[in-house]
Amino acid sequence: MRAWRVHAAGRPSAVLHLDEVDDPAPGPGEVRVRTAATVCNFNEVDGCRGRYLTVDPPMPYVLGMEGTGVVDAAGPGAEAWLGRRVVATASGAFGAHAEAFVAPADMVFDAPADLDDVGAAAFFFPFHLAHLGLFERGRCAAGQTVLVHAAAGGVGSAAVQLAHAAGARVIAVAGGADKVALARDLGADVGVDHHSEDFVAVVDAVTDGRGVDLVFDGVGGETATRSLRCLTYGGLHLVVGFASGIEAEEEAAVTGRTLCFGNLSTGGVLLSYTSFPEAARRATGFNITPRSVGDAVHARLLALLDAGAIRPVVGGVVDFTDLPLALDAMEDRRTVGRTVVLVRTDRHPAG
């Protein structure tokens, strides 16, 4: 099969090679997905650059965190997925930018029937992560005010829609007038262009000095530090990503003094599900979300999708052979929403 592999550290178009490799074989609790479409993620740019510590397998390796397609093989314990059209995260969060990839069954969900392969590929990760952050971790509720950074990106655009659907007031921050307009179209009450406006000052003005209840921050770095000034009494700053630079993943964004005098909280969210959370915690030291929560989240999201309350935002669709250029565009901040990569041209229609 064909697969995009990282061979060195550098710009995606310089270090990705389209190689012929063997089809992967699923192990116990895994499935193999015959890929219809994948999507670009900024952490894949970081992977190409050799600066992503979380996903850093030996080179050459097949890039790609997630995709959609039909399960054509299953290991012991995962046979129930055979023949089903799914959305999935690849095992180890790499390997999806290929004509087939292996995924743990705990990170596999039925693809929304009403979305074609492009829409399905753009749906899973942003909406699951945004829902986990806003509601399971952030306790977002009607009447609250939520500040969403990177509001025109894949996850940010999902957060804007979900917070709006829950009855929250949404202040959306994005870079450029077109991206701000998109966030408003998705339900944001206030749009802030960080190229020309100070989001801290805008938050202070539109909340009459009260501040926001929740910051949904997929940017990190200086944005995270400044966002703490936007929180109201008892507010929560939620870390969901590091679009400003993956280096911020290892840097402290808050001091004890800030927490103390701000009367605020910080937290984080990881999109990863397991049927054995206690065993995962003992093995890794990390708290992984139970798969039962993922099933409930998926059901809620499908209901919102059916009601027309949310929709995946697809900023572009590219051919499989153009993946490196699409990642270059993402690195250059020239994308909105999700960029979907078509692996097969005979894609599954909606309905």
pLDDT of res. 244: 75
Which pTM does this prediction carry? 0.95
Percent of the chain with pLDDT over 90: 89
pLDDT tens column, 306-346: 999 999 999 999 999 999 999 999 999 999 999 999 998 66
pLDDT at 143 over 90: yes
Listed in sequence order, the residues at least 6 apart from 313 whose beta carbon sits closer than 8 Å to its beta carbon are 122, 152, 154, 157, 158, 182, 186, 336, 337, 338
Please tell me the least confidently modeled range out of 175-184, 251-260, 299-308, 327-336: 251-260
Of residues 347 and 146, more confidence is placed in: 146
The β-bridge partners of 231 are 212
Number of Cα atoms under 13 Å in the Cβ half of residue 230: 32
Please tell me the least confidently modeled range out of 68-72, 138-142, 347-351: 347-351
**Please, are residues 55 and 47 in contact by the beta-carbon 8 Å criterion?**
yes
Residue 251: pLDDT band by 50, 70, 90 thresholds?
confident
3-state percent breakdown (helix, strand, coil) of the chain, nearest 5: 35, 25, 35
Q: What is the mean pLDDT of residues 234-251?
A: 84
pLDDT of res. 247: 73
pLDDT at 106 over 90: yes
pLDDT of res. 347: 58
pLDDT of res. 3: 98
pLDDT tens column, 208-226: 999 999 999 999 899 999 9
Structure tokens given for 216: 């949904």
The Cα–Cα gap between 345 and 113 comes to 18
pLDDT at 253 over 80: no
User: Of the candidates 4, 159, 15, which has an alpha carbon nearest to the alpha carbon of residue 96?
Assistant: 4
Look over the chain and give the mean of its residue pLDDT values, rounded to a whole number. 95
pLDDT of res. 345: 67
pLDDT at 254 over 90: no
- Residue 42 three-state SS: helix
pLDDT at 11 over 80: yes
Q: Which domains does the chain have, with CATH numbers?
A: 2-115+312-342 (3.90.180.10), 125-268 (3.40.50.720)
The Cα–Cα gap between 126 and 153 comes to 9
pLDDT tens column, 33-80: 999 999 999 999 999 999 998 899 999 999 999 999 999 999 999 999
Percent of the chain with pLDDT over 70: 98
Strand ranges (E), the chain: 2-6, 16-20, 30-39, 61-62, 66-74, 85-89, 100-104, 108-110, 145-148, 169-174, 190-193, 212-217, 231-239, 265-268, 273-274, 289-290, 314-319, 338-342
pLDDT at 122 over 90: yes
The Cα–Cα gap between 351 and 337 comes to 23
pLDDT of res. 351: 61
Q: What is the mean pLDDT of residues 179-198?
A: 98
DSSP 337: B
pLDDT at 243 over 90: no
The β-bridge partners of 267 are 238
Q: What is the mean pLDDT of residues 13-33?
A: 98
**Please, are residues 102 and 90 in contact by the beta-carbon 8 Å criterion?**
yes
Gyration radius (Cα) of the chain, Å? 20
pLDDT of res. 242: 83
Residue 197: pLDDT band by 50, 70, 90 thresholds?
very high
